[in-house]
Amino acid sequence: MKQVIKEEDHFKYIESGEHEEPLVLLHGLFGALSNFESIINHFSKTHNVVVPILPIMDLPIRKVSVAGLLGYLEDFIEYKNFEKVNLLGNSLGGHIALLYALANPDKISSITLTGSSGLFESAMGSSFPKRGSYEFIKKKTEDTFYDPKTASEELINEVFDIVNDRNKAIRVIATAKSAVRHNLADKLHQITAPTLLVWGKQDQVTPAFVGEKFHELLENSRLIFIDKCGHAPMMEHPEQFNNYLETFLQEVTAKKEVS
């Protein structure tokens, strides 16, 4: 299903809008909207599913950083007048979700992280790929997944486009370096919101030990591993992922109602 991107103020986003409870999805550095398709389709029945398009390619270059993206998310949630949110982040999106939770603990109902950065990540190896090599980019994108067929042509083309656009490539490198500088190991103990960690056992970008470390440092967290799965469980095993997330969100809602 083709999602309609709304443009209001300086925000671009998609929104299902049929329910009150917001489920805000945060994409990674190379995150196409199609990455979240299964979550949007499934949870639009129970939640207001909202996907802000993080302005990695649009921020003024001096603001291209995880701090700049955090500021954008804070402005967006305030603009939407959301009282409390369930945040779900993949890769860099998980990192932004954690920064938001640290800065705005009273605005968080729950956090879901999958392949999140913030502790350790190895996205493109030690150097940015050379421009022009479609096969190299195709292989690197496929390596993100356990099953290379999960890397759609749309996703490969999007990554290729970014790598071959000097302005976009500079922004991606700046954001990635900023993420590495903003290691959250010494801050995660401050987060008390219920947190679900869903990790691919064969994740090569944020390996399994990263999920275990998050679980150790986030006191109110639950860790689930999915086998035969890489960096984006919601894409490789959508039904399994949605079942885990649905159970978790139902528990969060039940606890809120009791209290």
Break the chain into its structural domains and give their ranges: 6-258
Angle between helices 166-181 and 92-103 (to 10 degrees): 50
Q: Per residue in 140-183, pLDDT tens?
A: 889 899 999 999 888 889 888 888 888 888 888 888 888 888 89
- pLDDT for 2 equals 66
The more confident residue out of 184 and 18 is: 184
- What is d(CA 74, CA 68) in angstroms, rounded to the nearest whole number? 10
Q: What does DSSP assign to residue 124? A: B
pLDDT by residue (tens digit) across 63-103? 889 999 999 999 999 999 999 999 999 999 999 999 999 99
- Which range, 26-35, 104-113, 131-140, is most confident? 104-113
**Beta-carbon contacts of residue 112 (< 8 Å; ≥ 6 apart):** 86, 87, 88, 89, 195, 196, 197, 198, 245, 248
Whether residue 182 contacts residue 92, with contact meaning beta carbons closer than 8 Å, is answered with no
- Residue 130, pLDDT above cutoff 60: no
Q: Cα angle vertex 185, ends 182, 186, to 5°?
A: 100
Query: Is the per-residue pLDDT at 122 higher than 70?
Result: no
CA–CA separation, 113 vs 136, rounded Å? 28
Residues 180-191, mean pLDDT to the nearest whole number:
94
> Domain 6-258 belongs to what architecture?
3-Layer(aba) Sandwich (3.40)
d(CA 79, CA 87): 16
